[in-house]
């Protein structure tokens, strides 16, 4: 923002962690904005290129398994799983690692830690062995408003040039004043040109729309037949009286959501008790490795992966190496 009293760069944008990582190269544009506020320019990375310093989370990453990289991935995965095993003093070959880690996982009280360790090992193995692809695509096409023309583009460049010349002239007051007047004049022409093109674009829209449908939106706007949609703010009670806004909300809540009372009835108490008690009976059967393998093999390899970029093929490859560990998790 810049006016006669000074200038200040004030900006507040709310974004999540993924968006923050994809937005960079912020700067205040010197282009003419026809107001006291200046344009902010920044670049948004498409696909979210990621590196290993970002906790392996990046939007748009997809690991691609190629035949020549399979053995490299297997070796890296075994080494990363072995690091997990070293924390618990487990030694031995791949099968021994699989058995010991599976046993430890099934007896673990807190399952979050082994799951996090396994996920980190899998992602690290992918980054070290599997090439990645992102959805980044360079696009130099500048999308603009429908009324923008080449003449306005030329006028905008002329205004920006005059503005820079005026702002950089500081020692010669007479020359600065002359360039200021020229800048103001070019800015006035630029504003008039924008207004003219907007009006022509609107006329063209009305003519084209009316030629295809004489009773279209343009006709309704001209005749004043567009009415704002009425918003229901009151309800009629059974006694004929109308509710206030607060009463309307209470009536709707009471109608659509019944009061959840603990002491309501025996049926409600039975439902609450059944929900609160963990389901663990003698009829519960643990998942077998064959069932887990069938589920993993049923994944569609063409589907987009999650934010970690790990595809169905990687999960299947991991299961074939550590079937007991994956089943236990």
pLDDT tens-digit series, residues 68-113: 778 888 888 888 888 876 655 556 678 888 888 888 888 877 778 8
Share of residues in the chain with pLDDT > 70 (%) = 74
Q: What is the pLDDT of residue 197?
A: 92
Structure tokens at 35: 């107001």
Which residues, 6 or more positions from 77, have their beta carbon under 8 angstroms from its beta carbon? 121, 122, 125, 318, 321, 322
Q: What is the pLDDT of residue 56?
A: 37
User: How many Å apart are CA 59 and CA 132, to the nearest integer?
Assistant: 12
Report which DSSP code applies to 68: G
Share of residues in the chain with pLDDT > 90 (%) = 12
Look at residue 37 and give its three-state secondary structure: coil
In total, the chain counts a number of residues equal to 329
Q: Confirm if 234 and 241 have CB atoms less than 8 A apart.
A: no
User: How many Å apart are CA 84 and CA 99, to the nearest integer?
Assistant: 13
Q: How many CB atoms lie within 10 A of CB 190?
A: 20
Query: pTM, whole model, 2 decimals?
Result: 0.41
Instruction: Locate all alpha helices (DSSP H) within 213-297, ordered by sequence.
Output: 217-223, 245-256, 266-276, 289-297
Instruction: Based on DSSP, count helices (H) and strands (E) in the chain, helices before strands.
Output: 12, 6
pLDDT in tens, 199-255: 998 888 877 776 777 777 777 777 777 777 766 677 787 788 888 888 888 878 887
Structure tokens at 88: 């618990």
* Torsion angle (degrees, nearest 10) of CA 173, 175, 180, 185: 150
Task: Decide if pLDDT at 57 tops 50.
Answer: no
pLDDT in tens, 269-311: 777 777 777 766 666 778 888 888 888 888 887 787 777 778 8
Q: What is the pLDDT of residue 190?
A: 93
């Amino acid at each position: 923002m810049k006016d006669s009293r000074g200038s200040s760069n004030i900006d507040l944008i709310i974004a999540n962690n993924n968006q923050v990582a994809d937005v960079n190269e912020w700067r205040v544009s010197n282009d003419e904005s026809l107001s006291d506020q200046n344009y902010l320019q920044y670049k948004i990375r498409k696909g979210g290129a990621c590196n290993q310093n970002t906790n392996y989370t990046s939007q748009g990453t997809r690991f691609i398994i190629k035949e020549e990289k399979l053995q490299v991935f297997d070796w890296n995965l075994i080494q990363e799983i072995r690091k997990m095993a070293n924390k618990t003093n487990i030694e031995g070959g791949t099968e021994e690692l699989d058995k010991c880690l599976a046993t430890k996982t099934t007896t673990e009280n807190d399952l979050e830690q082994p799951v996090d360790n396994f996920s980190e090992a899998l992602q690290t193995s992918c980054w070290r062995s599997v090439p990645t692809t992102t959805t980044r695509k360079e696009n130099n096409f500048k999308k603009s408003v429908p009324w923008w023309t080449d003449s306005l583009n030329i006028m905008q460049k002329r205004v920006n040039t005059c503005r820079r010349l005026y702002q950089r002239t500081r020692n010669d007051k007479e020359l600065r004043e002359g360039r200021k007047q020229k800048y103001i004049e070019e800015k006035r022409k630029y504003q008039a040109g924008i207004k003219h093109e907007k009006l022509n674009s609107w006329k063209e829209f009305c003519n084209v729309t009316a030629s295809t449908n004489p009773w279209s939106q343009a006709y309704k706007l001209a005749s004043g037949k567009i009415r704002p949609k009425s918003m229901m703010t009151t309800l009629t009670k059974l006694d004929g009286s109308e509710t206030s806004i607060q009463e309307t909300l209470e009536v709707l809540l009471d109608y659509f959501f019944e009061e959840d009372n603990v002491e309501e009835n025996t049926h409600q108490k039975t439902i609450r008790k059944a929900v609160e008690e963990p389901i663990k009976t003698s009829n519960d059967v643990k998942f077998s490795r064959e069932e887990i393998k069938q589920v993993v093999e049923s994944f569609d390899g063409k589907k987009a992966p999650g934010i970690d970029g790990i595809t169905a093929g990687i999960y299947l490859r991991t299961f074939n190496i550590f079937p007991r560990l994956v089943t236990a998790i």
